[in-house]
Amino acid sequence: MAGWTKKIKLPADQPAVSIKEQLTDWRIPRRVRGNFRMARRIYLNGQYQPTSTILKPYDVLTLNWLPEDFMTPDSQYVPDDSQSLQVLYENDELMVVNKRKGVKTHPNSPGENGTMMNFAQAYLMKQDKRAYMVHRLDGQTTGALIIAKVPYVVPILNQMLHDKTIKRTYLAWVDGHLTDSTGAITLAIGDHPTNSRLRQIDGANAKPAITHWTKIKSVYQQTLVRLQLETGRTHQIRLHMAAIGHPLVGDDLYNQQSAYADGLLLHSASVQLPMPFSSEIKSIGAPLPASFPVNLK
């Protein structure tokens, strides 16, 4: 594993900022920026320049990453080509795939297969690339899932998630009628005291969590809602909606009274994703699966 090289031609409207400022704006971690500088692994128009050098339009920056720049430089997922991968968007560094219902995002133990990361590994090995996890969706959740193809975009995408510059939109059916048209839930989420599978409002080690919801329509005793996350806590949507008295239909963890045959009705409908090293923003939608009804009966 020799490393990874990224060559970037700066745009015509490139601002007059230093190399250091540009790398910071691209969300390259501080430690990696330091490695670039100390080992002279960053080039401007083919030559090393101090990171205080001011950039100009059409300059070419070349960044060289080495395995020691990453906690996990190599991806160890077992390739599994038993299921095809539905790719919604793809470039050289990342892809967005449509996650299936009932399939885990990632293995929980070495050697495990049958997860989305295993299917992605098999798909990407044909490109001489590897699959790196960026975020996860619960096993019963469907829809748009971001997967990195090179390790150097993982911390960039993670920082975008933290900064809320990646926008994730979900659809869900919940029990009951929501009287308001919109709302926000700001309840901290922590560990459950007795069950490691569950989370709890204000549980142990609670962290802030914010969910915005918009009512789309009500059908009989259920409501279809659109949800956007400001944070990404485990089971956030499921727990937040249950906490305000409107648990998700088919949720076997937080709505045990629900007996919907097709299971949890939660779909990652779209991601709005800024492209690393670019000002371009992609909006990528995931089609509804057959298991997610337009109307409930």
Catalytic residue positions? 138
Distance in Å from the first CA to the final CA of the chain: 55
- For 145, residues 6+ apart whose C-beta sits below 8 A from its C-beta are 96, 97, 98, 99, 105, 116, 135, 136, 137, 268
Beta carbons of 126 and 87 less than 8 angstroms apart: no
| CA diameter of the chain | 67
| CA atoms of 145 and 76, how far apart (whole Å) | 19
Token representation of residue 87: 């790719």
| CA atoms of 286 and 290, how far apart (whole Å) | 12
- For 38, residues 6+ apart whose C-beta sits below 8 A from its C-beta are none
Q: What are the two backbone dihedrals, phi and then psi, of residue 81, each rounded to the nearest 5 degrees?
A: -105, 25
- For 41, residues 6+ apart whose C-beta sits below 8 A from its C-beta are 35, 63, 64, 65, 66
Reduced 3-state DSSP string for 218-235: EECCEEEEEEEECCCCCC
Beta carbons of 88 and 284 less than 8 angstroms apart: yes
The alpha carbon of residue 252 and the mean position of all alpha carbons in its chain are separated, in whole angstroms, by 24
Q: Which one, of 151, 171, 80, 184, lies nearest residue 122 by Cα? A: 80
